[in-house]
Amino acid sequence: MLDSLLALRGFVLLRDSVECEGRSLLKALIKKSALCGEQVHILGCEVSEEEFREGFDFDINNRVVYHNLFRDPLNWSKTEEALPGGPLGALRALCRRTHPGPVTIALDSLSWLLLHLPCTTLCQTLHALSHRDFCPDGSSSVEQVCVLGLLHEELHGPGLVGALSSLAQAEVTLSGMLSQTSASIVYRRPRQRPTRQTQCFSILPDFSLNLQGVLPLESQPHPGPPTTQVDPTTHLTFNLRLSKKEKEAKDSLTLPFHFSSEKQQALLCPGPGQATSRIFYEPDAYDDLDQEDPDDDLDI
Amino acid sequence: MFPELNNLLNTTPDRAEQGKLTLLCDAKTDGSFLVHHFLSFYLRANCKVCFVALIQSFSHYNIVGQKLGVSLTTARERGQLVLLEGLKSSVDVFFRAQEEPHPLQFLREANAETLQPLYEFVQEALKPVDSEEAVWRYPVLLVDDLSVLLSLGVGAVAVLDFVHYCRATVCWKLKGSMVALVHDTGDAEDEENDILLNGLSHQSHLILRAEGLVTGFCRDVHGQLTILWRRPLQPTAQREQSLTYQYKIQDKNVSFFARGMSPAVL
């Protein structure tokens, strides 16, 4: 289920497309984890901080730390605005950040990072990020972090998407238009078969999730978005099957080309009502009547 | 400027949205009428316009602009329009000292990795000047078109980075707007163009996609236009997210009508 995604503590991959953008869902999940009292770190590469924070209320904005990679990601401006170390440095800084209590890290977006970093480096960093070592008092303990990564899947080949999918604890693929969005979720638990589920949802203007129920499993083709099967027999202009009564009526009907004995009789001896027919023709003034015999030349 | 298109987009020069990236995309047809629309639209809106024109000459844009009721020559003299004429200045790159920065510097490099000089040109052109501040409303960047950069040997990621920086400067820092045209080749093997088109689609707020009719050329319907709003302010707003109309380009105007409702058919 969508609402239990955050409880997984690991890497969650959100796959969106041009028609169905996934940033709203990412923001909804961020709001949810901020409401649970978690510290949220966002690595923003694609939209400005103002645009990302738009729609969040004061409390949530307070809990959200925005690492701004949008302003100057490649250090073209040569000012202090760029994050030190570029995108990779920013990611590694997120790994090192120590904060007591549960942490959610949102990457907006993985696509931007994938276009600028080698895939292997990114996968290793993501793994380190979601299983980071946390030692508040010197004792070595491993605390799991929830990492939400937004991926625009049209931008990458199947190989890269597959590599990231295999790293993810859960994978959410969005489909449909904004009014009716559905998410097909694949959970991967260690030593278990992956489970699939498709859920319809909508996102309210304040970025809270409005879940609208789970689609039945048989209507979920694998993989990819659900498509409705069209029944070709719904709008036929004729019956495919006949009832018993209709069948009797059909059998009792004589077809026009059926030559029966009654028909033969009727043709051989015309009845009293059927007078021999004649053609009355009155020539018109402009009729071009040919007096010659058309078969004259045949010499019959 | 085509008033019917303004009606469809629910905008006028007086109350155009700021801070937005509009992506123009054409597939199997010529979408340059959209570029001419936005050029005359923003000049009428009294915006400071930086026009990166890589496809046609200045006089071509000027003649079309005059048909639509704006004079590019006047706008240029007043300082409202800053035009980078790609056809002309591409020659300049080869006849100047290599040390001098040129916006189209990538033409001279064997493996062009960055469009930073082009971005710096845009940044310089749209930099707010104190004396001008009261005159022009907000800056606008117009690019015709981005696909030609791929043909000139620039990688898709470099073009995406250029757009990213322009967006950060024009749309976010200066609260202006940006419009760019990209061709959709419809060719699955042209991976670079696919990356560029999809990457830009994800960055943009509004996508206008002009497509030729699948049935081929038609005298009375020149194609169809799909309008896709990607980031509505209210996620649950009642506004339709995507609309499709057919259009006919006339001498000084473009008429839009619902699919199958061309006056020639009815």
**What does the pLDDT look like over A55-111, one tens digit per residue?**
888 989 988 999 888 988 888 887 776 777 778 888 888 777 666 778 889 999 899
Backbone φ, ψ for residue B15 (5° rounding) = -130, 55
Find, among B129, B169, B157, the residue nearest to A77 by Cα: B169
User: A97 in a domain, yes or no?
Assistant: yes
What interhelical angle do B156-166 and B191-203 show, nearest 10? 20
The answer as to whether A38 is a domain residue is yes
In a domain, residue A27? The reply is: yes
Longest dimension (CA), chain B: 63
Residue B119 to residue A76, Cβ atoms within 8 A:
yes
**The total number of structural domains that make up chain A:** 1
Contacts of A178 in chain B (CB under 8 A): 232, 235, 241
User: Least CA distance to B19: which residue of chain A?
Assistant: A51
Q: Chain A within 8 Å of B232 (Cβ-Cβ)?
A: yes
DSSP letters spanning A251-266: HTPPPTT---HHHHHH
Give the CATH number for residue A160: 3.40.50.300
Residue B146 identity (one-letter amino acid): L
pLDDT averaged per 10 residues in sequence order, chain B, 266 residues: 90 90 93 95 94 94 94 93 92 81 85 87 89 78 93 92 95 94 85 92 93 89 91 52 89 91 82
Token representation of residue A147 = 């990492």
Q: Looking at the complex, does the CB of residue B126 fall below 8 Å from at least one CB of chain A?
A: no
Better-predicted residue by pLDDT, A204 or B143? B143
The three-class DSSP label of residue B179 is strand
Residue A225 is predicted with a pLDDT of: 47
pLDDT confidence of residue B232: 56
In this prediction, residue B172 carries a pLDDT of: 92
At residue A181, φ and ψ (nearest 5 deg) are -100, 140
Distance in angstroms (rounded) separating the CA atoms of residues A197 and A220: 8
Residue B257: how many other CB atoms lie within 10 Å: 17
Distances, alpha carbon A21 to alpha carbons A179, A207, B10, in Å = 12, 14, 22
Q: What token pair was written down for A272?
A: 């009293």
Query: Is B165 in contact with A178 (Cβ distance < 8 A)?
Result: no
- Structural domain of A67: 2-134+142-215
pLDDT tens digits, A117-174? 999 999 998 888 887 654 444 444 456 688 999 999 889 989 999 999 989 989 999 9
Residues 6+ apart with CB under 8 A from A152: A16, A17, A18, A109, A111, B198, B199, B202
Max intra-chain CA distance, chain A: 128
- Amino acid found at A117: L
Angle between helices A86-96 and A119-130 (to 10 degrees): 20
CA dihedral B242, B245, B250, B253 (to 10 degrees): -40
B227 to chain A: nearest residue by CA?
A19
CB pairs under 8 A between A and B: 67
- Which CATH code is given to the segment(s) B19-206? 3.40.50.300
Per the structure block, which two tokens stand in for B126? Answer: 């749209």
Give the integer Cα–Cα distance in Å for B82 and B96.
21
pLDDT per position as a tens digit, A44-59 = 999 999 989 988 889 8
Which pair of structure tokens corresponds to residue A212? Answer: 């609208």
* Residue A274, in any domain of the structure: no
Q: What is the pTM (predicted TM-score) of this model?
A: 0.81
Residue type, B110: A
State phi, psi for A249 to the nearest 5 degrees. Answer: -65, -35
Band of residue A288 on the pLDDT scale cut at 50, 70, 90:
confident
Domain boundaries of chain B, sorted by first residue: 19-206
Rounded Cα distance between A215 and B233, Å, is 29
Give the separation between CA B257 and CA B221, rounded to whole angstroms.
Answer: 10
Asked if the peptide bond before residue B90 counts as cis, ω within 30 degrees of 0, the response is no
Asked, for residue A283, whether it belongs to a domain, the answer is no
Structure tokens, A171: 């994978």
The answer to whether position A265 is within a domain reads no
Say whether residue B20 is in contact with chain A using an 8 A CB cutoff.
no
Q: Does the beta-carbon distance from B202 to A152 stay under 8 Å?
A: yes
In a domain, residue A276? The reply is: no
Do residue B234 and residue A205 have CB atoms under 8 angstroms apart? Answer: yes
Q: Does B157 touch chain A (CB under 8 A)?
A: yes
